[in-house]
């Protein structure tokens, strides 16, 4: 069974949190440092996962302010 890359695992975990409503529209994600600690990886896989989710339209980054769940992200409550 192929091993899932760290960036795919992180992206899927954040997708699941958005889908479940744990991270609702407008929610701010933890800082890069907090995410690297939480997932036990270096910054690069976290950055890659965030870029994947931004390209999917689930997240939007604001320079110097953080990364937020977009208002059009679908949750199970929507």
Rounded Cα distance between 76 and 20, Å, is 6
Structural domain of residue 38, as residue ranges? 6-69
Question: What total number of domains does the chain contain?
Answer: 1
Instruction: Indicate which CATH number applies to the domain containing 37.
Output: 1.10.10.10
CA-CA distance, 50 to 56, in Å (whole number)? Answer: 10
Tell whether 78 is covered by a domain: no
pLDDT in tens, 12-60: 999 999 999 999 999 999 999 999 999 999 999 999 999 999 999 999 9
**Does 39 map to a domain?**
yes
- The answer to whether 45 touches 5, Cβ cutoff 8 Å, is yes
Residue 34 belongs to some domain of the structure: yes
pLDDT at 76 exceeding the cut of 80? no
Quote the pTM value.
Answer: 0.89
Whole-angstrom distance, CA of residue 66 vs CA of residue 60: 9
Has residue 1 been placed in a domain? no
């Amino acid at each position: 069974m192929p091993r899932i890359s760290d960036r795919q695992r992180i992206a899927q975990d954040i997708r699941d949190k958005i889908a479940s409503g744990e991270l609702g529209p407008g929610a701010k994600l933890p800082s890069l440092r907090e995410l690297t600690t939480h997932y036990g990886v270096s910054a690069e896989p976290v950055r890659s996962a965030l870029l994947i989710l931004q390209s999917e339209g689930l997240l939007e980054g604001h320079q110097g302010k953080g990364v937020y769940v977009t208002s059009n992200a679908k949750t199970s409550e929507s």
